[in-house]
């Protein structure tokens, strides 16, 4: 306690004292390495050159913070829902860390007002606030370590703004989200039923594929066509988020087709000769 008071007094003499106290109001603690937090709030549109020649913006910290946040939320839901399966835990984590949720929390914390970006960039019509929040998590992790980062996520993000129990019960329409992405980027989306059969208890099982411009991006299994397509769409969205080269490949294939260039067809798994299941009415 005494050390914190002494450090606070010292900050009054620091030329960056306003920045320190602004971050204190957001974080609940004073930063040690203030430059990390300032970098976390610098959008790539306002990059500046660092001492080593690297362009300083929050993209690298966002990459780190995304992974750290996933780990912390996975840890939280794993211990909170001890009797639920992997699919439920994965879906619940996805709901907590989705873009819209992070954008909302970032704005509640006031990050959108502190982001350094080009005047042409609007934080109201993009995921810039949520991305900055992930970068801030990366900065906390590098500055203070895992436990402090976990405490920030729990106490400053989840407890005030997220009801995990209610969120876990809420269904996320991955198929609609994938459709929205494909329409925005002018990519053709198709779902194909690969096979349907009966399991050992005579329950119908369906397996579907999600294809973007005829490229297989996700496979899902469920007790209905709708459920299998939702799982396939979920896998496709994870692929899109994590693999930028893959997205570029899809966009490139679309341009090739528009220019009339031939393309080798993707190999599609054939339907197994199993008893055909009839989909239950939904």
Cite the active site residues.
66, 134
Instruction: For residue 206, give both structure tokens.
Output: 């369906």
Are 203 and 223 within 8 A, CB to CB?
Answer: yes
- Tell me how far the alpha carbon of residue 192 is from its chain's centroid: 26
β-strand pairing of 204-212 with 215-222: antiparallel
Q: Give Cβ neighbours of residue 9 (< 8 Å, ≥ 6 apart).
A: none
Q: Rounded to 10 degrees, what is the CA torsion of 213, 215, 217, 219?
A: 110
Using alpha carbons, list the distances in angstroms from residue 214 to 59, 193, 267: 31, 14, 9
Selection from 246, 103, 269 nearest residue 185 by Cα: 246
**Backbone angles phi and psi of 206, in degrees to 5:** -120, 140
Neighbours of 2 (CB within 10 A): 6
């Amino acid at each position: 306690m005494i050390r914190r008071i002494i450090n606070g007094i010292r900050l009054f003499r620091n030329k960056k004292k306003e920045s320190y106290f602004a971050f204190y109001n957001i974080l609940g603690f004073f930063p040690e390495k203030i430059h990390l937090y300032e970098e976390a709030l610098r959008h790539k549109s306002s990059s500046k050159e660092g001492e080593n020649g690297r362009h300083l913006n929050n993209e690298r910290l966002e990459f780190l913070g995304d992974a750290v946040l996933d780990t912390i939320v996975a840890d939280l839901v794993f211990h909170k829902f001890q009797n639920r399966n992997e699919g439920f835990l994965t879906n619940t984590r996805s709901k907590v860390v989705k873009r819209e949720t992070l954008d909302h929390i970032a704005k509640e914390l006031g990050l959108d007002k502190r982001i350094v970006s080009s005047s042409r960039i609007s934080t109201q019509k993009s995921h810039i606030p949520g991305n900055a929040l992930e970068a801030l998590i990366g900065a906390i992790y590098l500055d203070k370590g895992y436990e402090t980062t976990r405490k920030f996520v729990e106490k400053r993000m989840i407890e005030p703004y997220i009801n995990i129990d209610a969120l876990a019960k809420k269904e996320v329409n991955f198929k609609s989200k994938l459709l929205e992405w494909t329409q925005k980027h002018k990519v053709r989306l198709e779902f194909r039923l690969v096979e349907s059969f009966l399991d050992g208890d005579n329950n119908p099982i369906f397996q579907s594929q999600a294809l973007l411009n005829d490229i297989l991006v996700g496979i899902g299994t469920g007790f209905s066509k709708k459920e299998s397509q939702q799982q396939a769409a979920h896998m496709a969205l994870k692929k899109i988020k994590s693999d930028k080269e893959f997205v570029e490949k899809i966009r490139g294939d679309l341009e090739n087709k528009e220019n009339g260039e031939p393309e080798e067809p993707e190999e599609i798994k054939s339907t197994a000769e199993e008893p055909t299941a009839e989909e239950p009415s939904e």
